[in-house]
Chains A and B, each alone.
Chain A
Amino acid sequence: MLSPMMRLFETMSRELRGLLPLHGEVFQFYCCEFYCCGPTVYGAAHISKFRAFVLRDVFRRTLELSGFTP
């Protein structure tokens, strides 16, 4: 089922925000582009660093399941 109205929690404003269309007023072709910056290294890698990788992977999968094209 296509569900372009996914909402995400924005930590800066601490509000739930809907995804904004990139091309005009509507989600054309249900495409979504997103960029995840890599880690900044302050010390040796440890298990909690996986949070960022897991989160972005879950996000991508959720978008795909919602009908977005990667």
Chain B
Amino acid sequence: MVVRDPFTKPFCGAEDLGKAIPENDHAVSVCLPRWEDVIGYEEGKAEVIDAFESGYPRFVPHPFVAELFLAAQEEFAKKDEVAMVFPSLAAAWRCADYIKRRCGATSRLESYGWENLTAVLFKEEAFTWGWKYWQHSGEIVSSRLAEAALADAPVNDEAVEAGKQAISVLRQRIAKLYHGLTGKDVFLFSSGMAAIAAVHRLLLIDKPEDPSIQIEFPYLDSLKVQQEFAEAGAADFSITESGGVEEVKTWFEEGKRATAVFTELPSNPLLRTANLERLASILNKKGVPLVVDDTVATAINTDAFRYADVVTTSLTKMFSGAGDVAGGAVVVKPGTEFYELLRERLPSEEAASPLFLHDARVLEVNSRHFRERVEATNENAAELVDWLRTRPEIKNLWHPSSECRDYYDQVRRSSGGYGALISFVIKGGEPAARAFYDALAISKGPSLGTDFSLVCPYTLLAHYDELEWAAKRGAPANLLRIWVGLEDPEDLRGRFEEAFGVLGESG
């Protein structure tokens, strides 16, 4: 059987509902071809959910993962108990603690008996909270890890050796993206969110009563990690006029404290960048670390370490490009005030939610041409942005080439571009957005950074239960977000033209 090529046959028709994107047992996206499918997914409609072959690993239990949960349940559960499985005792314990704090239910832990996998067992009604922990913390069991555990055979020595080699190559490859770093400064996790959660947790150890500060409206769970996993939560400064400088200055002038300042380079989905230069200058004096997630811009386009103390990145996205593996990294910079502390604490965090050896091997192969792919998608996106700006159907468009460009340029490399993520709203409200989305012949599903283009109604997908809240932070409900892949730009324009044509027909 020939595997479907998303470049020539995008996953976008009604018949593609629920199909794994790409066609792969370990795909990290799933096709939601119509607006109503996105709403159906958010409302938990069986006709949508049951069609899923795959899904974003933190949001949809992969079939292998669901099977692993069931196997643990059959092995350990008492009456009315259900099971989830986490990569380690530490991660399982954190999940159980979260459930206890959120709904009062106590959980039991059992060693699953394969590697460090640990089952968490609790009453069925607490599952919502267990699943929330999985989603927010990113401490996930990958589909490959679940598959291997279900096979119940030890990973053979050759595969272990190859996996370790891949981990070592990945550490060095990521370190080389930044100046003066070595592989020892890179820590690898099971997901990008696990990387962010680990940094947040470590920095919280010394200041457990202080909140963190978020500058610019970030990706859903980047904020949830701070709000859900710290007693003091997070100070949320979305859409700042000064790139966060005035907010942070005022914060400290009022005598308040903070564990860390988190921000994305640029923010997802509004693609805004904080004033990292000025923020770093304030934070250095206060002894507060600046944590920057450079997933969207990538380290090819930008050097966050010009100002950041810690960089986190999701390897699931452009670093992989293939959309068939999840992973995350924390990178620390020698010479900063926090370097020794983080280098000492990060290994145990990494061990709690590690990048599985089989995943590392896939990621190592996928990331060999990271730079070339970033450069090509930069160009394609720039062309599409220029063209979309001329289109009368577009109401708003966000791209780092226009949003907070001066701040982005503070960290943009001399050869770097503005990245391949674009957000936009088309005129005509929801009916027009719906018609346009349904007609667009580009693969439709969650995630970004794939070699092929990928579009989704981001706000609906990420903030369906808090649309007003998201709108107040600048992300309207009808916002569409597209990751521009390696397709020929002319081909992509043609697909947009066709979808715009539907709007014309509807008047």
Contacts and interface: CB of A to CB of B under 8 A. Distances in A.
Interface in B95-110: 96-97, 99-100, 106-110
A64 B100 CA distance: 37
B93 interface: yes
B110 A41 contact: no
Interface stretch (A8-16, A21-29, A32-40): A32-40
B107 A40 contact: yes
A38 B118 CA distance: 9
B115 to A, nearest CB: 16
A42 B90 CA distance: 14
Contacts of A40: 106-109
A70 B97 CA distance: 32
Interface in B340-362: none
A41 B385 CA distance: 52
Contacts, number: 35
A2 interface: no
Max count, chain A CB within 10 A of own CB: residue among B94, B109, B119:
B109
* Residues of A contacting B: mostly: loop
Contacts of B90: 45
B410 interface: no
Contacts of B111: 38
A42 B93 CA distance: 10
Nearest to A45: B93
A57 to B, nearest CB: 12
Contacts of A37: 108, 110
B110 A44 contact: no
Contacts of B93: 39, 41, 44-45
A39 B108 contact: yes
B110 A38 contact: yes
B106 A42 contact: yes
Report, as a range, how many residues of chain B touch the other chain.
10 to 19
Interface string A36-70: 01111111110000000000000000000000000
A39 B111 CA distance: 10
A41 B111 CA distance: 14
Interface string B309-322: 00000000000000
Given A45-B90, A45-B93, A38 B100 contact: no
B109 A43 contact: no
A38 B109 contact: yes
Nearest to A41: B96
A37 B94 CA distance: 18
A44 B106 contact: no
Max count, chain A CB within 10 A of own CB: residue among B96, B97, B100:
B96
Contacts of A45: 90, 93-94, 97
Contacts of B96: 41
B484 to A, nearest CB: 44
A42 B100 contact: yes
Contacts of B108: 37-41
Contact of A43 (B97, B110, B118, B119): B97
Nearest to B105: A41
Interface string B73-114: 000000000000000001001101101100000111111000
B424 to A, nearest CB: 44
Nearest to A35: B110
A44 B96 CA distance: 9
A41 B108 CA distance: 6
B476 to A, nearest CB: 39
- Nearest 6 pairs between A and B by C-beta? A41-B96, A38-B109, A38-B110, A45-B93, A40-B108, A44-B97
Interface of B: 90, 93-94, 96-97, 99-100, 106-111, 118-119
10 contacts: A37-B108, A38-B119, A41-B93, A41-B97, A41-B107, A42-B100, A43-B97, A43-B100, A44-B94, A45-B94
Given A39-B108, A43-B97, A43-B100, 19 more contacts: A37-B108, A38-B109, A38-B110, A38-B111, A38-B118, A38-B119, A40-B107, A40-B109, A41-B96, A41-B97, A41-B100, A41-B107, A41-B108, A41-B109, A44-B93, A44-B97, A45-B90, A45-B94, A45-B97
